[in-house]
């Protein structure tokens, strides 16, 4: 089916709507049921006020069908039909002047994926590949974020995998190479973990001077309940050889990357010790449902506490090797790089930095004088949250109450009940400290690729 914009214009003395009977007949002709009998869908219609001009958005197999359908109006005036696209399709295809979106039949249609994300309330940063963050106010509520509102980070188009033919291959330096289908994994010992995933670039837009990469605000983070097979269970069945050192996790998504002459697939690695000790999960369910396609269907890795780049989606291969892994997303990206004392220091991106995120009050909102409740979430990859402190109007730091028990792998809700009695513009700030003694810096720590940005958050609002 293709999309068309139809423009019809007639003279005032030939206006069919001037005659109530002809007008009623016209409405019937342009009704959705009548259009469907002609194999078309009318997506929108409007008349320019004060003029005799009609616009329609019609989805049809071809232009000839549209012309036949519009013959009654063509007899009364002019008829222009233009091939069209949706706004999401134009953005995904590279702009209004681009020839059109080219899609691979083995990937999810980026236009459809984008429209689904917009309808779910996600804030879209990029259409192709799809990257969008969760609106911070949408985090208010329970421990987990609904699947449709969970932030999305992709480097390549979303693979469209058939669960009936999909296989997970485990090989390399192992004593017993393994090959699993989805049913095999469902019959293996399972585990369910509530885990917060955060993009390593979350907060990158806070950096000055700016750096390249997705300009995430603060919503590239979400929490879900993940169910699957512990990674260690699969590794034990394969039996890594004595000289095994590194576990490479390879997804089905792939494409071109800067500086490489050939396409590559998304792949990351953990040391063998990290793979065994991290509680990593091969997840096939998210919040009690099968993984959505956006989030790795039919199988993904979830590495608790680590930035989400380690949690490879659309997993198809696990390879055990005896060297350090030097893939593009391990060696060319996802490392901290700082200029220090006249030389460059590099460190791999691994555990999440400690961070508190304010969900209430909402930025730029109006709050009545009197009692004020400040709420939010806090998390850290190194250890559970020890405390959260809140400052209102640049005042002293006040201890917030941690809601519920301390959590090892997911965010911790917190709240502070206080007062605001002076009308006018003011701010609220929050900072978290974990049980490992790590706390948030006052200002973002600049690094060349913009990872691990976790300064104290400040939200401005008005008291009236």
For the chain, 464 residues long, give each residue's pLDDT as a single digit of tens.
889 999 999 999 888 888 887 888 888 889 888 899 999 999 999 999 989 999 999 999 999 999 999 998 888 899 999 988 877 766 766 666 655 444 444 889 888 899 899 999 999 999 989 999 999 988 877 799 999 999 999 999 999 999 999 999 999 999 999 999 999 999 999 999 999 999 999 999 999 999 999 999 999 999 999 999 999 999 999 999 999 999 999 999 999 998 898 999 999 999 999 999 999 999 999 999 999 999 999 999 999 999 999 999 999 999 999 999 999 999 999 999 988 888 999 999 999 999 999 999 999 999 999 999 999 999 999 999 999 999 999 999 999 999 999 989 999 999 999 999 999 999 999 999 999 999 999 999 999 999 999 999 999 999 99
State the pLDDT at residue 226. Answer: 98
Kindly state the tokens that stand for 238: 């394969």
State the pLDDT at residue 99. Answer: 52
Neighbours of 288 (CB within 10 A): 11
State the pLDDT at residue 103. Answer: 40
Domain 2-84 sits in CATH 3.40.50.620? no
Q: What is the residue extent of each domain of the chain?
A: 2-84, 147-333, 355-463
State the pLDDT at residue 102. Answer: 43
Report helix, strand and coil shares of the chain as percent, to nearest 5: 20, 40, 40
> Architecture of 147-333 per CATH?
Alpha-Beta Complex (3.90)
Cα dist from 183 to 82, 214, 298, 444, whole Å: 49, 37, 11, 46
Q: How far apart are CA 437 and CA 48, in angstroms?
A: 64
Q: How far apart are CA 435 and CA 292, in angstroms?
A: 34
State the pLDDT at residue 320. Answer: 98
Those residues whose C-beta lies under 8 Å from the C-beta of residue 83, and which sit 6 or more positions away, are 2, 3, 4, 63
State the pLDDT at residue 104. Answer: 41
For domain 355-463, give its CATH number from 3.40.50.20, 3.30.300.30, 3.30.1360.10, 2.60.40.650. 2.60.40.650
Neighbours of 271 (CB within 10 A): 15
The secondary structure of residue 17, as a DSSP letter, is G
């Amino acid at each position: 089916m293709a999309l068309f914009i139809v423009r019809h214009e007639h003279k005032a003395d030939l206006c069919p709507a001037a005659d109530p009977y002809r007008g009623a007949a016209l409405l019937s002709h342009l009704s959705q049921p009548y259009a469907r009998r002609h194999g078309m869908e009318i997506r929108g219609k409007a008349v320019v006020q004060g003029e005799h001009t009609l616009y329609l958005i019609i989805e049809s197999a071809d232009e000839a069908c549209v012309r036949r359908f519009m013959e009654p109006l063509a007899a009364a005036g002019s008829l222009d039909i233009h091939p069209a696209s949706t706004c999401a399709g134009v953005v995904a295809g590279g702009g209004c002047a681009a020839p059109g979106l080219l899609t691979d039949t083995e990937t999810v249609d980026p236009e459809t994926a984008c429209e689904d994300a917009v309808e779910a309330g996600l804030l879209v940063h990029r259409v192709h590949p799809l990257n969008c963050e969760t609106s911070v106010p949408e985090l208010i509520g329970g421990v987990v974020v609904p699947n449709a509102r969970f932030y999305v980070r992709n480097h390549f188009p979303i693979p469209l995998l058939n669960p009936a033919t999909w296989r997970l291959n485990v090989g390399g330096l192992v004593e017993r190479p393994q090959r699993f289908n989805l049913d095999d994994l469902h019959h293996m010992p399972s585990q369910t973990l509530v885990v917060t995933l955060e993009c390593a670039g979350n907060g990158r837009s806070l950096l000055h001077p700016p750096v390249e990469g997705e300009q995430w605000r603060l919503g590239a983070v979400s929490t879900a309940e993940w169910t699957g097979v512990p990674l260690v269970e699969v590794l034990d069945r394969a039996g890594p050889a004595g000289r095994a050192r590194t576990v490479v996790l390879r997804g089905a998504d792939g494409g071109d990357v800067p500086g490489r002459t050939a396409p590559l697939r998304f792949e990351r690695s953990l040391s063998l010790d990290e793979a065994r000790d991290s509680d990593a999960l091969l997840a096939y369910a998210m919040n009690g449902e099968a993984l959505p396609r956006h989030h790795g269907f039919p199988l993904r890795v979830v590495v608790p506490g680590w930035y989400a780049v380690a949690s490879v989606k659309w997993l198809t291969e696990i390879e055990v090797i005896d060297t350090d892994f030097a893939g593009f997303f391990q060696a060319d990206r996802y490392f901290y790089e700082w200029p220090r004392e006249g030389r460059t220091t590099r460190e791999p991106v691994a555990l999440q930095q400690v961070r508190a995120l304010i969900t209430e009050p909402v930025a730029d909102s109006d709050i009545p004088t009197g009692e004020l409740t400040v709420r939010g979430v806090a998390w850290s990859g190194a250890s559970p949250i020890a405390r959260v402190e809140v400052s209102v109007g640049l005042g002293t730091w006040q201890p917030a109450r941690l809601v519920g028990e301390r959590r090892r792998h997911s965010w911790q809700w917190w709240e502070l009940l206080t007062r605001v009695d002076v009308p006018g513009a003011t701010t609220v700030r929050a900072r978290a400290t974990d049980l490992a003694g790590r706390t948030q810096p006052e200002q973002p720590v600049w690094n060349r690729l913009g990872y691990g940005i976790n300064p104290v958050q400040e939200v401005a609002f008005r008291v009236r």
